[in-house]
Amino acid sequence: MTSADTAISIFQQTGIGEQKIKGLLEYGQHITIAQIITLPTALPDFIEDPEDYFSEAITGNIVLSFIKHPDLADYLVSLCNSLAIPVVASGPRTIQGAFSPITCCGLPATDELGAYGTQFGMPEYTVKLSEDGNVITGLVVTRGASCGATWLVLPKLIGQTKARALEIIAREVQYHCQADPSAFDPVSGKSPLHFAGNVHTRALTKALEQG
């Protein structure tokens, strides 16, 4: 898929994807929202016939799934696979057949997802420093989270020393992150919120090392 003509179909449950839709439109280039399909939030625990909820034809090049109900989420991925449409279903649960990063900022760069895959996912910054090399005077996002957190933290980082920026970036990102803070991994004790903060810290560290 070329990165110049990516149309996205979005499936969500009652507004859960709205912040990421806003981010796509504000920060994305060569991306259009082909359709937004909203499913109900109040659903039975088990759905025997998930296909009943998907009467609308998928018109996008790729699909973003913000569906929490496992029966519906799994069916959508199966449907997309049958139509050879790539689907991204971020969240703590891995779905076979989908790109399933733990958060929207955990997606590695991939050409399979067109402009979305090159512009959104694991964050990347380029940095400008003061003459003494200690203060951040400019930051440009070259790839970021669809929720917009990668861009929204820029005013908090520009003007800070390198050390101070690395101290605060994780916290500032978490203020904007849409991940569920209660979704802790019982083994590591970490949550998607921690992951989002850490991946942005690593991105800034790499930019500073290269800058």
Structural domain contains residue 137: yes
Task: State which residues form the domain around 186.
Answer: 124-210
What does the angle CA 85 – CA 90 – CA 96 come to, to the nearest 5 degrees? 60
Statement to judge: residues 75 and 38 lie in one domain: yes
Q: Whole-angstrom Cα distance, residue 182 to residue 193?
A: 9
AA identity, residue 121: G
Assign 8 a pLDDT band (cuts: 50, 70, 90): very high
The residue from 119, 146, 176 where one domain ends is 119
Per-residue pLDDT of 64-118, as tens digits, reads 999 999 999 999 999 999 999 999 999 888 999 999 999 999 999 999 999 999 9
The residue from 98, 119, 140 where one domain ends is 119
What's residue 190's pLDDT?
63
- For 40, the token pair is 């109900």
Q: Where residue 144 sits, what CATH number does that domain have?
A: 3.90.1010.10
Average pLDDT over residues 111-138: 97
Statement to judge: residues 14 and 99 lie in one domain: yes
**Cα→Cα distances 3→61, 62, 93, 109, 117, Å:** 11, 12, 28, 12, 8
Statement to judge: residues 109 and 16 lie in one domain: yes
- For 114, the token pair is 């067109």
Statement to judge: residues 18 and 104 lie in one domain: yes
DSSP lists the bridge partners of residue 8 as 33, 62
Judge contact between 168 and 75, C-beta under 8 A: no
pTM, whole model, 2 decimals?
Answer: 0.91
Structural domain contains residue 1: no
Statement to judge: residues 102 and 147 lie in one domain: no
Q: Where residue 42 sits, what CATH number does that domain have?
A: 3.40.50
Statement to judge: residues 12 and 108 lie in one domain: yes
| Number of domains the chain is built from | 2
What's residue 187's pLDDT?
47
What's residue 183's pLDDT?
63
With a CB cutoff of 8 Å and minimum separation 6, the contacts of 119 are 3, 27, 28, 29, 31, 143, 144
Statement to judge: residues 89 and 153 lie in one domain: no
Residue 121 reports pLDDT greater than 50: yes
Average pLDDT over residues 131-147: 97
What's residue 167's pLDDT?
98
The residue from 73, 102, 119 where one domain ends is 119
Q: What are phi and psi of 131, to 5 degrees?
A: -60, -35
Q: Whole-angstrom Cα distance, residue 61 to residue 171?
A: 35
> Using alpha carbons only, how large is the chain's radius of gyration in Å?
18
Statement to judge: residues 22 and 99 lie in one domain: yes
Per-residue pLDDT of 141-186, as tens digits, reads 999 999 999 999 999 999 999 999 999 999 999 999 987 766 655 5
Statement to judge: residues 140 and 63 lie in one domain: no
Which of left, alpha, beta for 84 (phi over 0: left; psi -120 to 50: alpha)?
A: left
Statement to judge: residues 24 and 48 lie in one domain: yes
Statement to judge: residues 113 and 137 lie in one domain: no
Statement to judge: residues 114 and 189 lie in one domain: no
Average pLDDT over residues 110-128: 97
Q: Whole-angstrom Cα distance, residue 120 to residue 148?
A: 9
